[in-house]
Structure 1
């Protein structure tokens, strides 16, 4: 075959030769591409493929038909052309605007037109000066880093299909300065031992008893108690003199205390005194003189005046007195409790067996059940929203049960009181009557059990501080009068041995509630989303009976509270013996100035916006307690 030297051979041969020579070569990389958020749709470039004309013009002016052999003019021989490799395309995701914290970028949008599997190579190419951010991985389809400073972070990605690498793709993450420094904090608090814990709190431990605080305490009691004789409060028919009561109330308030009281219609025996107003005795409205002189001691007859408890006029005037006193006292928030008193010796609902009604004047008999019920009701009517307590003696079981579990006049549950704490066998009156006690044994769960001592000397074999301790434990007594001990003299405290003194101190430590923060967890995001959970434990023998709010408080570096949040929960339901209660909340912190803050957990008087005085914050019984009674949960930083 004669082929002119200037003729072009079929271009397919050239193409095959070029594929064989350049089949794995890579093209020169271009500048990195910045992703816009959508994978590229531009046609990829095949590697090693040089375009070749399929129609060539011979020098002699003739044209070789496309796809035919110039030597024969027919169909060229059949041959197989390998598929050209196409450069993969990297995609690092779209730009992000985020806050401080974890940032994730994903290269899942990268592609390879040939369907080859690809591998990933990430690089953190730029970050703010001072940042310590690093990628969690450089070879996975997605990676992340912790943005620890505000500013711009640039992450680049290249992918490889086993033959060639893609051009680099990059994504920019812009991190704004966070309002708060993110953190997660957990704390376990240290409980104070009950044998050494001298925490003083309201309505627990010792209360100030008629101007006395005999048992040594680290700080004064937060409740004060007094008693008043009817004749001193009403000097004439409807003429009331509450000056002493109101003065005692104001003194208690000025000392940060609440006030408790009892009104008495008689005291003890054989003193020759009348303790009801003189106008009442032998008043024309009395059925039988409204009282009589009883013979308590035959050796000194007729020296004990006993009111006629059944006389309607005496009952009417007693009720009027209590109503007037209630009005004079004013705000119920000032009152810790009021004894249901009036009736019996010292207003304690008991009369000595030495009072023999068989010797009483005609028409005067022992108090009927209806009359005793009326003396309870007159207190309930006068003080329907105040805390009251009823003397708990077995001989008055019906009245005690009525007042504490059956009455419907007062809105607050009525508690109980005993006035002979420490006397050996005194509470046998209840333990020896289990059926009756069963109806009263849970009263302490919703209303306080108050007590005071019977005087007992040092070394007494039956009446001792250890007996008092056991009574406090067994009957869930919350608060004890800090007086009426020893011989009642000014030096009665010093008359006890050091061991007895420590035992008396221990009575106050064990009486009532002992709330403590057990554990707490705090979480804060950079955007200021605060999550707090805390466990509060009551190691005492009774709950609190006053309204408290458990609060989160944020204080600044000057100690000023700039924000607070009430936690959901009621301490009154946490009844003691180690019972626990959980408090939790998630809340967005409001905007604050740059600086350092302390997050506190504190229990405050729920009536603090209206009450006078406001109770001091409840003091948690933990070693980490701050001077205001609360605990610090965490230190927070606003950037």
Structure 2
């Protein structure tokens, strides 16, 4: 995809039909106890079935749904978009205008924007951007820094030279030292090679497999604890080698809503199994069909998408297209609902009890980050929590979990029971579940239990 300018038309006067009325859902019904009792010992337990949100309700969780690109507001405006992605703002020549001289202004700005929204930041560093606006502005450094070797007689970087390889690794190492442990940073798009950092070129010498893998390795070594993405316009065998070498490496394509997403992923089944453990991100292509895009979100398990390149305004869509577009936004990534929770009818403080949970993921992909499930007992303003562990790891359809937990020392009485899904790093707010009854603390009330 060719780089685009920062401006775009986003005429929005109506919200997506499936997302209308979200603000009125906060007073929805919470959990209700089930009267069904089957099997030995079930009479001593109570199962609470939790109410669900409508299928199109907004879930503003990190690294799912719609992200912000090139400063564009979300489309439609009723959809929460907290994650932020930079590309044109953070090209190589802007970060390092002279060898060893750094300008982190725009990377810091992107992280700050994501942090203020409670979202995650992602970025791609371009080394080459043919025809891009930055190269024609006297007040902007060129995309390719002057110290980067070129192929003879061209302005194309010499991808296979030791000069390019060494400078790229030095750049990534510096960025990794500065941002590798920042909780606001969600992922790094490998970038580096090809037009717009998209891993394809129209002219000049191509990168060798060995040097291409070295470009990926430089990013992976600098950011060992972050998600990485590589554009799937690469040859399949090369992509498989890169994925095998780096377990944190996922994929992206810039062609959602176009035939095969202009991607090798759609035409090779070997690449289509990695979504279970690695993220796949996308953006709408410049000739996107929203109906096709919605199908691709499900078929290829897309986690995030952007409105940055949409060729149409929301008002111009037919009702069928709007419905498909709303479905694409609502189902991209994880959309997790707690179906039920089973507890003993009464417990004694200090007991070790069995807690049974049933979950369903209504989205297209699992969450690829760690989330801890927490059970909380609340009474008279006092809350005490017990950990249920990482129950959502790899959840792609439905699951049932049984966990033994020790009940905290509580005085006798009746306690409200709440469930929350929390970020163990403390950065992200508790996960928004596809359940009604979310409290101000980000927990969901399940029911009550008597402590003896």
Please confirm whether the aligned pair reaches a TM-score higher than 0.5, indicating the same fold. Answer: yes
Check conservation: 2:336, 2:433, Cα contact below 8 A.
yes
Residue 146 of structure 2, aligned match among 278, 285, 300: 278
Greater mean deviation of Cα atoms: 324-333 or 226-235:
324-333
| 1:369 to 2:204 alignment | no
Counterparts of 1:292-331 in structure 2, within 5 Å, are 305-331=155-181
> What is the rounded CA distance, in whole Å, between the counterparts of 2:389 and 2:107 in structure 1?
38
Work out the CA distance in 2 between the residues paired with 1:267 and 1:512: 30
Q: How does 1:246-395 map to 2 (within 5 A)?
A: 246-269=108-131, 274-280=142-148, 286=149, 290-291=150-151, 305-352=155-202, 355=203, 357=204, 365-393=205-233, 395=234
- Aligned partners of 1:276 and 1:550: how far apart in 2? 46
Structure 1 unaligned runs (5+)?
1-182, 281-285, 295-304, 358-364, 457-462, 609-613
Alpha-carbon shift at residue 379 of structure 1 (Å):
1.2
TM-score between the two structures when normalised by the length of structure 2 = 0.81
User: Against the structure 1 CA distance between its residues 507 and 277, is the aligned structure 2 distance closer, same or farther, given a 3 Å change threshold?
Assistant: same
More helix by share: 2
Matched, 1:449 2:260: no
Distance 1:430 1:250 in 2: 33
Are 2:385 and 1:554 equivalent residues in the alignment? no
Question: 1:510 maps to what in 2?
Answer: 331
1:533 alignment counterpart: 356
Deviations 1:155-207 (A, max 9, x none): xxxxxxxxxxxxxxxxxxxxxxxxxxxx853212233443x332222211111
- 1:214, 1:493 within 8 Å by CA — same for their partners in 2? no
User: Alpha-carbon deviation of 1:377?
Assistant: 1.6
Contact 2:62–2:83 (8 Å) recurs in 1: yes
Match of 2:311 among 478, 481, 486: 486
Work out whether residues 517 and 622 of structure 1, in 8 Å CA contact, stay in contact via their aligned partners in 2: yes
Name the CA shift for 1:480/1:628 in 2 (closer, same or farther; >3 Å).
Answer: farther
**1:238-292 CA distance string (max 9 Å, x none):** 1111122112212211221111111001123386654111233xxxxx5xxx245
| CA shift for structure 1 position 396 | 2.5
Tell me whether 618-627 or 502-511 shows the greater mean CA deviation.
618-627
Q: Is structure 2 residue 83 aligned with structure 1 residue 223?
A: yes
Q: Give the C-alpha shift of residue 531 in structure 1.
A: 4.1
Distance 1:377 1:447, change over 3 A: same
Asked if 1:186 corresponds to 2:47, the answer is yes
1:633 aligns with 2:452: no
State the shift of 1:497 in Å.
4.2
CA distance in 1, matches of 2:242, 2:157: 22
Deviates more, 1:414-423 or 1:627-636: 627-636
Give distance in 1, aligned partners of 2:442 and 2:307. Answer: 23
CA contact (8 A) 2:386 2:408 kept: no
Report the secondary structure of 1:207's partner residue.
strand
SS in 1 for 2:254: strand
Counterpart in the other structure of 2:30: none
RMSD, aligned CA: 2.6
Cross-structure match for 1:459: none
Report which of the two structures shows the higher radius of gyration computed on alpha carbons. Answer: 1
Q: Is 1:211 aligned to residue 62 of structure 2?
A: no
Q: Distance in 1 between matches of 2:279 and 2:50?
A: 28
CA distance in 2 between counterparts of 1:580 and 1:378 reads: 38
Matched-pair contact (CA < 8 Å) for 1:522–1:531: yes
| TM-score, normalisation: structure 1 | 0.58
Residue 589 of structure 1 and its aligned partner are, at CA, apart by 3.1
Matches of 1:556 and 1:542, distance apart in 2: 37
Flag the 1:478–1:636 CA change in 2: closer, same or farther, 3 A.
same
* 1:33-52 paired onto structure 2 within 5 Å: none
- For the residues of structure 2 that align with 1:574 and 1:214, how far apart are their CA atoms? 27
Count of residue pairs the alignment pairs up: 400
1:161 aligned partner = none
CA distance in 1, matches of 2:277, 2:317: 35
In structure 2, how many angstroms separate the alpha carbons of the residues matched to 1:198 and 1:573? 22
Distance 1:526 1:585, change over 3 A: closer
Q: Work out whether residues 600 and 632 of structure 1, in 8 Å CA contact, stay in contact via their aligned partners in 2.
A: yes
Aligned with 2:211: secondary structure?
helix
Q: Does residue 589 of structure 1 match 2:408?
A: yes
* Secondary structure of the corresponding residue to residue 271 of structure 2: coil
Q: 1:470 is matched with which residue?
A: 295
Shift of 1:620: 1.7
Q: Does the 8 A contact of 1:258 with 1:335 survive in 2? A: yes
* Structure 1, 328-337 or 257-266: larger mean CA deviation: 328-337
Q: Retained in 1: the 8 A contact 2:66–2:81? A: yes
CA distance in 1 between counterparts of 2:228 and 2:385 reads 33
Structure with more contact order per residue of length (Cα contacts < 8 Å, sep ≥ 6):
2
Distance 1:476 1:417 in 2: 11
User: 2:238 maps to what in 1?
Assistant: 399
What's the offset of the Cα at 1:330?
Answer: 4.7
The CA deviation at 1:545 is 0.3
Match of 1:413 in 2: 248
Q: 1:623 aligns with which of 426, 436, 441?
A: 436
Distance in 1 of aligned mates of 2:270 and 2:345 = 50
SS at match of 1:551: strand
Aligned to 1:540, the other structure's residue is in SS state coil
Do structure 1's residue 501 and structure 2's residue 326 form an aligned pair? no
Residues 534/429 of structure 1: CA separation in 2 closer, same or farther (3 Å cut):
closer
